[in-house]
Amino acid sequence: MASRLERGHTRVVGFADAEMDFQLIRQMGVARYGGAAVGECLALAQRIENGLPSSWVAAFAGAAARQQADAEARAARGHAVSARDHYLVASNSWRAAEYYTPVGDPCHAEHGLASRACFEAAMQLADAWTCEAVTLPLDGVALPAFHLRPAGESGPGKTLLVISGYDGTLEETFLAHGRAALERGYRVFLFCGPGQMDTMRYQPQRPFIPEFERVGRLAVDHVLARADADPDRIALMGISFGGYFATRIASHEPRIRALVANSPILDLHAYMASFTGFDPADMPDSDDFRVGDIDQIPDSVMPAQLREMSRNLMLRFGCDSFKETYQRLREFRVDGERLAAMGCAALGLVGSGEGAEPMAQYERFLAAVPGAQGHVFTAEEGADGHCQSGNLALSAAVSLDWLDEVFA
């Protein structure tokens, strides 16, 4: 008789490194909406070296290429549903590879553009919704965006604009939030601004800007110019850093009728400094380091993953040093008087495990915005992490049910 029962070789084992483990949860979380397979993600994790970004990139880029080839083969044989589903998985795997690829590496844009190509191929095969790729013009730059609506609906209806954050993409935002909104009858407009991943694919020299209300104005203009938008039911959702972008937009844009901030970020500098344990904006010049210094820093001083995250942060905020980057972050704030004057319905979301500063800014948001409501997700729900990556269906239920009630 066998000494033990074994039904497969895949194991539910993540990473000792907290950030890489979060990225694995993030990847698996979109399985609910067709962006991954849990077993495949766990199998890939077994081939990735803990805390080593290059091994993550190699594993997910290899998987993405295989998944894309499989989707193309199924499409060629006329299996539209299977091809659509595999294209979505491939798109998200390319995104995972894009995430850990250094911004200055040509493969960063290549992986991102491959993610977009697979997403667009999936959209061409979709029958439950339509998808249109558009751009928003800002300072001579074409900002990528997608407009989606449920199939068969063309008249004026409720519209949800969604903006992601530091490393989210339009394609991932569709999987994590857009598809859930489409299922509830929303027209969905996914958009981004300078410095965000989708724009970086085409314009890597364009850093983040504090005044995201300029981007928001373009997005609202575009949506309201369409015949399928009801101006009385225009909502805006911000994810991660998008909690800052969306809150700042809503504080300037009276045409937004409802805001979902997940989570609300009123002071991006304080938010980011909370993760370092000190304020790099005030660090001694002797401790500061520049982009050109990164590759000379030994692992014993700064692990490989932290080096790449620091390099990407400096480049994407258009700064040459770590200290200068945090000084620049001080400009990314939402004005308190504008918050107090906001007239739209507002919902703040936060996970109980996100940390003291995100929770403090969530509380400030509820206190500052007239009539704002809030919801705290818990560890018991598997949703206490950043943006509820471990339980996206619950996040959608809380945010979109609230929005349905606001628009009822």
pLDDT of 2 over the 60 cut: no
Q: Which of 1-15, 148-162, 169-183 has the highest mean pLDDT?
A: 169-183
Of these residues, 240, 251, 389, 399, which one is catalytic? Answer: 240
Write the CATH number of the domain with boundaries 10-127. 1.20.1440.110
Q: What is the pLDDT of residue 196?
A: 97
Task: Assign 139 a pLDDT band (cuts: 50, 70, 90).
Answer: very high
DSSP state at residue 49: -
pLDDT of 153 over the 90 cut: no
**φ/ψ (deg, to 5) at 386:** -55, 125
pLDDT of 312 over the 80 cut: yes
Q: What is the pLDDT of residue 358?
A: 96
Q: What is the pLDDT of residue 5?
A: 63
The average pLDDT across 328-338 equals 97
The average pLDDT across 360-370 equals 98
Catalytic residue list contains 240 = yes
The percent of residues in the chain predicted with pLDDT above 70, rounded, is 98
* Counts of helices then strands in the chain (DSSP H, E): 16, 8
DSSP SS3 for 245: helix
Task: Assign 7 a pLDDT band (cuts: 50, 70, 90).
Answer: low
Q: What is the pLDDT of residue 3?
A: 59
Kindly report the average pLDDT of the chain as a whole number.
95
Q: What is the pLDDT of residue 305?
A: 85
Strand partners, 237: 162, 260
Q: Give the alpha-carbon dihedral of 241, 194, 88, 95, to 10 degrees.
A: -70
Domain borders along the chain are 10-127, 128-267+332-408, 271-329
Please tell me the CATH superfamily of domain 128-267+332-408, with its number: Alpha/Beta hydrolase fold, catalytic domain (3.40.50.1820)
Distance CA 359, CA 364 (A): 9
Burial class (CB in 10 A: 0-12, 13-18, 19+), 306: middle
Q: What is the pLDDT of residue 6?
A: 65
Q: What is the pTM of this model?
A: 0.95
